[in-house]
Amino acid sequence: MSKVIIITGASRGIGRSMAEYLARQGNKIIANYNKSEEKAKELQEELKKENIEIDIFQADVSKREECQSLVKYTIDKYKKIDVLINNAGISVWGPFTDLKDEQIKEIIETNLYSAIAMSQEVSKYMIQEKSGCIINISSIWGLVGASCEVAYSITKAGIDGLTKGLAKELGPSNIRVNSIAPGLIDTEMISDFTKEEIKEIENQTPLGKIGKPLDIAKTAKWLIEDEFTTGQVISPNGGWIIT
């Protein structure tokens, strides 16, 4: 597999694991980061030791102009974009009635608007090529909702709506659009969970464990190689949530 792949939010966690895994499969990776420059450089250096070159690119993907810069950089250098993975995301925890306007706007812009803007910017080129694959990282909470994570649940359900509508619109251009809706994955995003809370979730999960970022990277690889799956929400979650 040798594809040009943009991954948003690839400095840490799931995005970083996807960048490492897909780069090791021979793909050209453009790893976007926002605030964690050191970590993005560390990722680039780590892969360089294996003779693997990746591009890192700073952009706040909640802003249209910065999405445009990321896409322009990729097109100028590689002339095409085969795969877009909309992964960048944040979470906000707290009772719904306590959410401040700024928090609501920030999470919608970071998790949902970014995926809309990036998909618009990239699909122009994919339509010309009559080929492409867009993967949106949503969440089980988009499927079933989470108490005290209502704003997060809204953004992730919105992402799944983007996946379904866009899959229908872009299918005739041979562009597949799917969501990956992970269960609990061991990254900084869940650093507020206590050991006891994680144990409890593992006990409720048929496979008896939470996920690792690599589990999601493997699902992404499968979706990139697949040729007949579009408009779907695939949920690697150990069986914790079965809909």
Q: Is the dihedral of CA 120, 122, 125, 131 positive or negative?
A: negative
Selection from 26, 85, 92 nearest residue 61 by Cα: 85
Q: Does 238 bind ligand NAP (CB under 6 A)?
A: no
Cα angle 116, 120, 125; round to 5: 150
Catalytic residues: 152
**Shortest Å, Cβ 217 to ligand NAP:** 11
Q: In this complex, which beta carbon is closest to ligand NAP, that of residue 89 or of residue 132?
A: 89
Strand partners, 180: 137, 234
Over the window 155 to 184, marking each residue x when it contacts ligand NAP by CB under 6 A and - when it does not, the resulting string is: ---------------------------x-x
Q: Does 219 bind ligand NAP (CB under 6 A)?
A: no
**In the chain, beta strands by DSSP E:** 4-7, 28-33, 55-58, 83-86, 132-137, 175-180, 233-234
Which residues lie closer than 8 Å to 69 by C-beta, 6 or more apart?
57, 59
Q: In this complex, which beta carbon is closest to ligand NAP, that of residue 127 or of residue 148?
A: 148
Q: Of 190-209, which residues contact ligand NAP (CB under 6 A)?
A: 190
Q: In this complex, which beta carbon is closest to ligand NAP, that of residue 15 or of residue 132?
A: 15
Question: Which residues form the interface with ligand NAP (CB under 6 A)?
Answer: 8-9, 11-15, 32-36, 60-62, 87-90, 110, 137, 139, 182, 184-185, 187-190
